[in-house]
Structure 1
Amino acid sequence: MIIGGGGEGIDPAALPGYLLALGCAVTWSGYSVLSRRMGHVPTEAVTIFCLASAILSAVLHLLFEKTVWPQGVIGWSSALALGLGPVGLAFYVWDVGMKRGDIQLLGTLAYAAPLLSTGVLVLIGIAAPSWSLALAALLITGGAALAARTSFRA
């Protein structure tokens, strides 16, 4: 449903983006498994990876992109919130969850991210509600329920 454009088919021009997304998914899942298996490594080590990715991102940005600074209070606040939340704190929280948390619950709750973000986009008027979004939400909820079935039994 996501990459098929709601029934319109896959756009071949978007294939590089799909492949990058697949690479990100494999990288993140690999990181998560390694984090769990290396529980003895302190969570503070995440700082090294965050710094390395920030440096690499800055270098690649300077080489390939035009710098556009945020405009106004909302722009700067949004950039700060992204840096502190999903790009910063989220890595630490995920690491703690992977090392000391309930993996099954964490995986199940991860299904909520795309559902909640899409809901926010609809609520603020950036995305239009549609039957394909409703079906996608139902499929995400079904995936979460399927992932949580062992927890329900316990």
Structure 2
Amino acid sequence: MSRQKATAIGFIAVLLWALLALFTVGSAPTPPLLLNTLCFAIGGTLGLIWTLASGTAGELRKVPLKVYAFGTLGLFGYHALYFSALRLAPAAEAGLIAYLWPLLIVVFSGLLPGEQLRRGHVIGAVLGFAGAALIIAGGGKGFSAAHLPGYGLALLCALTWSGYSVLSRRVGSAPTASVAVFCLATAALSFPLHLLFEETILPDHALGWAAIAGLGLGPVGLAFYVWDIGVKRGDIQLLGTSSYAAPLLSTIVLVVAGAAAASATLFWAALLITGGALIAARASLSKPASPALADDQTPR
């Protein structure tokens, strides 16, 4: 598979993640750990069916246990934090902060062998964080202490997913089929924690169940498999920066669906975050292709 094709496949995840916030809001009042359990059970089952149908199940025995632990903690940690953040803070604002992860991917990827952090990446990072600061400050209308826990969890989301995505390159030999195990293990880990710390509350209407099914099939299902291909075999910096289509699309979807109110703060925050990503993307596009990741030498 070529580097360009892998990058394009990875971008499918970005389009699916644009629906993550809307479906999360629609799944209320299901608590975060229970939502983790249900969504990843669906996503893992989807992957398991694909693995069996493609005849790649035998590859799973070759994957080291530490890789399974790494993948499970990455998926579990990000989504437990994300679902909690959107229960504790306004969806659009918390979502934009959580979507600092693409820019952090670009910054952190400069530490990878064969990658280089350029001035445009740093400028983009500064603009992205300025956008997040604008949201937390309330657009000059005063700090909302009530939403601080949600904003803090959203920032931890960004750090968790960017770290997971960049470190995935270091375990590039793990087959994409292993993501199915990550998902099922995440569901298995979430369920007992839910029983210990949460009250079991399920949706009482069809739209709530549809939102959970949508999460499991798309943003918390197929998205992980195509993203795994992209970050391991594609241009990780270009993929990370182009991922800023997600917060913009996600915010638009929330506003159109009536789950968030349009405001000047959201507009300027989205402009700063997306603009920073575009500057960083330009820096990525200007770099020569890494010989270590040429089309015929992509990690498998």
Q: TM-score, normalised by structure 1?
A: 0.86
Correspondent of 1:43 among 155, 176, 196: 176
CA distance in 1, matches of 2:227, 2:233: 10
Instruction: Judge conservation of contact 1:107–1:147 (CA < 8 Å) in 2.
Output: no
Instruction: Judge conservation of contact 1:70–1:79 (CA < 8 Å) in 2.
Output: no
Say which is worse superposed, 99-108 or 63-72, in terms of deviation: 63-72
| 3-state SS, counterpart of residue 136 of structure 2 | coil
Aligned equivalent of 2:167 = 34
How far residue 26 of structure 1 moved from its aligned partner, in angstroms, is 2.3
Aligned equivalent of 1:121 = 254
Aligned-residue sequence identity (percent) comes to 66
Instruction: Judge conservation of contact 2:242–2:281 (CA < 8 Å) in 1.
Output: no
1:82 aligns with 2:215: yes
Aligned equivalent of 2:143 = 9
Cα RMSD of the aligned pairs, angstroms, is: 2.0
CA distance in 2, matches of 1:146, 1:78: 34
Aligned equivalent of 1:98 = 231
Aligned equivalent of 2:268 = 135
Instruction: Judge conservation of contact 1:111–1:143 (CA < 8 Å) in 2.
Output: no
TM-superposition CA deviations, 1:68-102 (whole Å, max 9, x none): 22233322221111111111222111111101122
Q: TM-score, normalised by structure 2?
A: 0.47
In the alignment, structure 2 segments of 5+ residues that lack a partner are: 1-133, 288-300
Greater relative CO (CA pairs within 8 A, separation 6+): 2
How far residue 125 of structure 1 moved from its aligned partner, in angstroms, is 2.0
Aligned equivalent of 1:58 = 191
CA distance in 2, matches of 1:18, 1:127: 16
Instruction: Judge conservation of contact 2:172–2:232 (CA < 8 Å) in 1.
Output: yes
CA distance in 1, matches of 2:241, 2:175: 25
Aligned equivalent of 1:24 = 157
In the alignment, structure 1 segments of 5+ residues that lack a partner are: none
CA distance in 2, matches of 1:128, 1:19: 21
CA distance in 1, matches of 2:240, 2:207: 32
CA distance in 2, matches of 1:152, 1:49: 32
CA distance in 1, matches of 2:204, 2:270: 34
How far residue 134 of structure 1 moved from its aligned partner, in angstroms, is 1.4
TM-superposition CA deviations, 1:115-142 (whole Å, max 9, x none): 1111111112222211111111211221
